[in-house]
């Protein structure tokens, strides 16, 4: 089979093999131009269901659909040549049964050509993870704070402070690792627990609001870029402040339009002489 024109993409197996070598760099991506900018610097790009909140203004991720995930997965795949691209399974697309999970995961892989899918859940999802991975679908796990379960867990808060909570997260991470996931996100979990789990399980842990000791880190790219002035969780660092820059640029544009100084002659098409 010819490989002409194909760029070697980072695979889920390569991500798994990075445990203990160097930290894994991950960010979310939802569009082609952003994927192109992030791709050279990232090992993994996640088309997260966080797009419901970031792009569509939803209060939670629960309203995100398969169609939305596929459309944005396709967009990111057009822009990513190097990074491993993973697409979230949205709420309601995999919890009913392992067969439902396979149908929807297979649809995402077929329609986007992404490298794998991510799902939330621990012990209760281990059988599903095993079912998917044994049938050729790479799975990225997600334990700790799980945004799709925010309606039953009392909102967005850090977890693992009680021994009961900590033990549940330990068991969840172990179950997902043993079920065959290639990596697992640990979100919103107290630092010592995230550090402990990272040392205890065989697959890479990707932290968000967890620990620098995790095998990698992930942030929502829009948070990292400072696109939201009114929202900055404790675990987010703004590596840029794009929101005020965009606001200032828009103000300048509006002033020039009102003053009729834009478009200038050089921005228009003139008759040929």
Instruction: Give alpha helix (H) positions in 5-65.
Output: 12-17, 32-38, 51-54
In contact, 30 and 54? CB cutoff 8 Å: yes
Residue 93 marked as a ligand binder: no
Greatest pairwise CA separation for the chain in angstroms: 81
Known catalytic membership, residue 124: no
Q: Parallel, antiparallel, or unpaired: how do β-strands 84-88 and 116-118 relate? A: parallel
Instruction: Identify whether the C-beta of residue 160 lies closer than 8 Å to the C-beta of residue 166.
Output: yes
Name the helix (H) or strand (E) containing 218.
strand 216-219
Is 50 known as a binding-site position? yes
The closest alpha carbon to 83, from 22, 4, 27, belongs to 27
Cα–Cα distance between 73 and 81 in angstroms, integer? 13
The answer to whether the CB of 180 falls within 8 A of the CB of 170 is no
**Among 16, 111, 165, 187, the one annotated catalytic:** 187
49 is in an annotated binding site: yes
Binding residues for 3-methyl-2-oxobutanoate: 49-50, 88, 118
Q: Which residues line the annotated binding site for Mg(2+)? A: 49, 88, 120
Catalytic residues: 187
- Extract the annotated binding site: 49-50, 88, 118, 120
């Amino acid at each position: 089979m010819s490989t002409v024109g194909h760029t070697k993409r980072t695979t889920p197996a390569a991500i798994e093999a990075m445990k203990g070598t160097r930290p894994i760099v991950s960010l979310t991506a939802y569009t082609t131009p952003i994927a192109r900018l992030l791709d050279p610097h990232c090992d993994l790009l996640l088309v997260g269901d966080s797009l419901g909140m970031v792009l569509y203004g939803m209060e939670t991720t629960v309203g995100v659909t398969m169609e939305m995930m596929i459309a944005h997965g396709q967009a990111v795949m057009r822009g990513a040549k190097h990074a491993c691209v993973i697409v979230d399974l949205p709420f309601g697309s995999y919890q009913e049964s392992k067969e439902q999970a396979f149908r929807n995961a297979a649809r995402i892989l077929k329609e986007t050509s992404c490298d794998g899918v991510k799902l939330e859940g621990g012990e209760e999802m281990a059988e599903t993870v095993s079912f998917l991975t044994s049938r050729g679908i790479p799975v990225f796990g997600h334990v700790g704070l799980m945004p799709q379960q925010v309606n039953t867990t009392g909102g967005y808060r850090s977890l693992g402070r009680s021994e009961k909570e900590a033990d549940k997260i330990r068991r969840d991470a172990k179950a997902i690792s043993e079920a065959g996931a290639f990596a697992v996100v640990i979100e919103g979990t107290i630092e010592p627990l995230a550090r402990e789990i990272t040392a205890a399980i065989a697959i890479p842990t990707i932290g968000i609001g967890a620990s620098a000791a995790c095998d990698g880190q992930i942030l929502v790219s829009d948070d990292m870029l400072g696109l939201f002035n009114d929202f900055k969780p404790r675990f987010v660092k703004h590596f840029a402040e794009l929101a005020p820059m965009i606001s200032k640029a828009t103000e300048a544009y509006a002033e020039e339009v009102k003053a009729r100084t834009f478009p200038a002659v050089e921005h228009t098409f003139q008759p040929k002489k």
